[in-house]
Amino acid sequence: MSDLLNELLKNSMEREAKKLASNGGVTEQDRYGNLLDSVKGRDIAQEETDKYYGNVSQVLNTAKNNRLKREKENTENARNLQRIVSDVENRERREANAFVDRNRKYLDKAKETISRERNKSYFD
């Protein structure tokens, strides 16, 4: 941030030097008088600069807060999705176990039949 301010100050000084060279040494302050804010005793240009950097700071803080809010929402959404997936897996497991329990006798008969068929000898 200080590098940016230094760069802006340097550019401003270069502009003033060019204006002085083109105006023959008459500055804007000489031309328009001392533009001081009567309440704070500060230069109006400085006030505008402060407003600008205050707005930039506010925008950066807002952007940071929005990013943190999005990250929090994304984390909550990920947790909710994981919970839903886990619930679905548990429900499917329970339904499969219930199906096996309901149809146990048929499954046992099928196992017996398969075992019997495997043990049969077709060459006797």
Greater model confidence, 92 or 23? 92
Residue 79 CA, distance from chain mean position: 17
User: Is 87 a residue whose pLDDT tops 50?
Assistant: yes
Range in 15-19, 30-34, 106-110 with the lowest mean pLDDT: 30-34
Q: Quick one: pLDDT at residue 112?
A: 92
The answer to whether 35 and 29 have CB atoms below 8 angstroms apart is: yes
Rounded Cα distance, 57 and 1, in Å: 11
User: Is the model more confident about 111 or about 35?
Assistant: 111
Mean pLDDT of the chain: 79
CA distance linking residue 93 with residue 99, whole number of Å? 10
Q: Which sequence spans correspond to the domains of the chain?
A: 1-33, 44-93
Residue 32: pLDDT over 70: no
Q: Please tell me the least confidently modeled range out of 2-6, 20-24, 112-116.
A: 20-24
> CB within 8 A of 10, min separation 6: which ones?
none
- At 74, list the tokens: 């994304």
Over range 98-107, report the average pLDDT. 91
